[in-house]
Amino acid sequence: MRLKLYGGFGGKGVSVGLETARTRLIIDIGVNTSATGRDYYPAISAEELGQADALIVTHAHEDHVGGLGWCLAQGFGGRILMTPETRGDTEACLAAYAEPADRALVRDAVIETFAPGETLAIGDLTIRTGRNGHAVGGVWCAAEGEGHRVLHCGDIVPASAVFAYDAPPPSDVVLFDASYGSDDVPATQRAAAVVAWVDAHPQCLLPTPLAGRSLELMAILDRPLAIAAGMRDGLAAQIADERWLWPGVKEKLAQKLAHAQDWGGPGWPDRPLLAHDGMGLAGPSAEFLARAAKDAHPVLLTGHLPAGSPAEVMLAAGQAAWQRLPTHPTLAENIALLAAMKPRMSFGHSCTLAELGPIAARVLSLVATAVAGQTFEL
């Protein structure tokens, strides 16, 4: 089996390839929002896209699905597979991060859906799936063939207070979510810091991805909330299917959403305002961040900030604060995951090589120099 790193290794925008004598599979086709031009997309050629048998998308965030229309435009004609929930959220993601012509290709494409926990057969590969704890519709994939099992975690959160998580099987090669590098601050401590900041700034703007972190914020904030106009249906759809949530979470979130105020402006609500996306690159947060900078309105950023994004610019200028709300694994969680997997090779995605350094000191299997564009014979 051959492993190809197309994107997200040494940076953002995850995409990997698996090849056997009979099958060519791509998992994820994300974009790198810190890059422009050709570097915005994965390092995969039109020829490779044309030869691929199938593409599995783990979840509907831009760094995992944002290049779907682009890959169709480049000649991909194989099967496309994702959960129904990811399929439902993909259009909103592509509206923010894809070219209109590429979005149209996705709307016209045939997309197969599967349920979490389902086993997929693609050529001579058998792929097990499970809930990733990161977002509604999100899964990890463990592909087995030619005597190897390769686990692609996508983005995972083993200890989310909101999203349910299924432990993946032991695998001899693991591609794990290293978004936070060596950060080992527990999620409970991070959440408490976010709550304390909002308590001190009860009228604030909270830019957040529509899928995933918005529900995490709603879960920890025990106060009336406002949501940007147009978010309600998306949030309601995520809350509706309790298969993706831990027991009891659905009822709590549904009640909070029912009492949330829809907000489009002008002015600011008398409560925290959630607005997507989390970086100010698209969605209502693009407008709200510009207004917040002008009005000196309190802003709390809680996730990844691409270089040059409106949110990153405001943070650098002292016009916004930042407190991480974990939606990816801490160092301790990754160490525990890899100890359970016992891989002979592991690769960390969604971080720089410098951020991988401290992990390499504790994970002997880690290939700490792996970058997008490389191929590994397994």
Class of domain 187-322: alpha beta
Q: Encoding tokens for residue 353? A: 């090589």
Chain-wide mean pLDDT for the chain? 95
pLDDT at 236: 95
Strand, coil or helix: 293:
helix
Which residue ranges does the chain devote to CATH 3.60.15.10? Answer: 2-182+327-377
Task: Identify the burial level of 108 via C-beta atoms within 10 angstroms of its C-beta, where 0-12 means exposed, 13-18 middle and 19 or more buried.
Answer: exposed
List, for the chain, all residue ranges whose pLDDT scores fall below the cut of 50: none
Question: What would you measure as the largest C-alpha separation in the chain, in angstroms?
Answer: 61
Q: For tokens 């009822």, what's the residue?
A: 251
- For residue 345, give the nearest of 121, 112, 184, 173 by alpha carbon: 173
Question: Do residues 159 and 187 touch, judged by C-beta distance below 8 A?
Answer: yes
Pairing of strands 321-322, 205-207: unpaired
Question: Do residues 42 and 372 touch, judged by C-beta distance below 8 A?
Answer: yes
pLDDT at 97: 94
Could you give the CA distance from residue 57 to residue 65 in angstroms, rounded to a whole number?
6
Q: For tokens 């000196």, what's the residue?
A: 296
Backbone angles phi, psi at 253, to 5 degrees: -70, -40
Helices (H), 66-186: 68-73, 84-97, 100-108
pLDDT at 226: 98
Which residue ranges does the chain devote to CATH 3.40.50.10890? Answer: 187-322
Tell me which fold the domain 2-182+327-377 belongs to: Metallo-beta-lactamase; Chain A (3.60.15)
